[in-house]
Chain A
Amino acid sequence: MPETQPAVQLDHISRHYQMGETSVRAVDDVSLSVACGEYLALLGSSGSGKSTLLNLMAGLDRPTSGSILANGENLAALSPLNLARYRRNIIGMIFQSFNLLPRMTLEENVELPLRLAEVERSERPGRVREALERVRLTHRFGHRPMELSGGEQQRVAIARALVNRPKILLADEPTGNLDSATGEAILSLLRDLRTQLGMTIVMVTHERPLAERFADRLATMGDGKLLNTSPSLRGAAQ
C-alpha cells in the first residue's frame, strides 16, 4: 500500500438502528480519514457514536449507508467470511473490559487468534512469547486472567491483539477500567508499540487530557456526527 493512501477512509458513513417505531442515528454521515501509522483518538461523551464508529472500522458491524475503505477494500461490500478474514488479519482489537477468556491461561488467550488464523502449531509458541515479551508479561505464563491485575490483563489483551501482526489496532476505552497511573502506562505502551511496529491506532476514549498527551490527532463526536478534527498535534509522528 503506498504511504499516501489512508489506513482507513470513512466516506459519508451512517449507522441507524430501528428501536420500535423510532430510528436511532448512532452514526450520522461521518467522513474521516486515518493515515497509515497515525494514532487517532476518538473523543466524545457516552452515546456520541464513537464506539459504533470503531465497530464499523473493525468490521464487526456494517454501515446503513456510505463506504469504509480499509486495506484497499470496501468493508460494506465484503462477504461475512471476508469480513472475518479482515478482522483476523488486518485488525487487532482491545476493549475496556479486556474480554480475555477466563478459562484459558495467558498463553492460550494470546494463542487464540493464531488458532483462528490457522497458523502452524510449531510456529505458535514463539509468536505467543514474542507478543507477551512486547507487553513485558513473560513472567506470568500459565496464569489465568483472574490472577492478574487490571493493568496486566489489559497488557495480555494487547498481546493477543498484536499476535497476528495487525496493520490497525482499534482500542475501545482501553483505560476505562484502570486507575490513572496504570492507564497512562498502557497508553505509553501503545505509543511505543506503534513506533516499533508502525501500526495505525484508533482509540476511543472520553479522557481528553490523556488523548492529547498520547495521540497524534483528535476527532470529537457528538450525537452521531463528527463535530471536529484537530490538526496534527505531533508533526514528527507523521
Chain B
Amino acid sequence: MKLAATLEDVKAASSTCLRCSWCAYGPWPENLPLCPIYSRFPSFTFSGGGFLFLALALLEGKIEFSQSIADFAFSCSSCNACDTKCNVIHSHKSHVYILDAIRVMRREAVKRGFIPDGVARKIYDEVKKTGDYGRANGFKLPDKIRSDNANTVFFTECAHSKSRKGIAEATINLLEKIGSPVGQFAEKGCCGSTLYDFGFWDELEPLVKANWAKMKPMKGKKFVFFDPHCQEFIVKRYPEILPDFSPIKNQHFSQLLADAFKGGRLKSKNSGKIKVSYHDPCYLGRGLGIFDAPREVVGALKGVELVEMVRNRENSFCCGARTLGDYVPNLSEDTARERIKEFEVTGADLLITACPYCKDQFQRVMPAKDKTRVKDMTELVDERT
C-alpha cells in the first residue's frame, strides 16, 4: 500500500462523505461528541467530513492554500476518532481515511510555506535546520539488565516531552524489578512520526530509511515502545513508505507489564487504597487497538480501583496535545480541560495515561496544586511494586 501523499490520492475517499456528521459523535446511547474541534463548536466544517470537503474544494480550486488553511488543518488533534466512527470511508477501495486527507492538507500547506505559529513553527524551524527532530533522551539501561543478545529490545525514542524523564526512570526501575534482560534501540533522530503528522515530509524519508537500516538487523526481535506515536508510526506507516519493510514484532510497555504481572515476575505491594481513572491515549487505543493491557495492569495493583470515564476505550476523548493550529482559539487547552472535567466526575484520585504527550498536556492545564494527580501508568506501577 502506498502512502497517501497528494490531494489527488485522497480525492476518491473524500468523495464518499455523506455529510452525516457520524464522524463527530460517539456511539449510542451516550452519543457524546468525540471530535475535539466539533465538541468545541458543533458544525459540519469542524468535523471529519468538513476536512474532506475542504480537500475537495482545494482540489477543485474553489479555495486557495493560505495561512488559514494551515491553521485549520493543524487544529485537528489527529485523534483518529472520526475514522473510527465513519461508516462509509472504511470500505473504500483506496483505504484512505479522513486523517490521511488532513495530513495531506498539512503537507500541502507546509510546502507552500504556510505553517502555524508556535509549536508547529518551532518544530519546522528545527527540522529545516537539522534535518531531524530527534532528541537524545539519556535513557540508558543499567548493565545488570542490559543485554545486546536479548530477544526483547527497548525502543528508546527521542525526548521531547517533559514527562519523558520520569517515565524513563520508572521504566528502568520496572525492568530491573522484572529482571529479564533487554536490549536497547536508540533511534537515529526522530522515528518520523512527528514529521509525518505535521506535514514536514521533505525530511521524512531519509529519517525513516536511516531508522529502518538500524532496525533491520534486529527485526527478529521484539521491539517494546513506551510512546504509542512511535509504535503506531513504525508499525503502520513504515510499510507504506519503505519498499523493503517487513513486519516487526512489537509490544507496548503496558503489554509487557501486563505479561509480567501474569507471569508473576512483577508483584504489587500492599499500598493504600486509591481510585484511578485511565485515559486511553489515541494512538495506543484507536491507533493500535491496545485497550485491555493498561487496564489489566491497573487491575493487578493492590488497593487500586479503576473508575472509567464516560468516554473510554475506542470512544475515548483526546487530550488535545497534538492540536497545533489556532483556527479555534485555545482549542488544545480546552480539549484537555474538557477531558479533565470528565475525569473529575469519576471521583478518582489520579488520572493515569500511557503516553508522554497526554501526561504533559494534562499537567499543563491542571491547576498547580493538582498537577501530581496526573501520572503515567509506568510511574504508578513503579510506586506500587
Genuine A/B complex: no
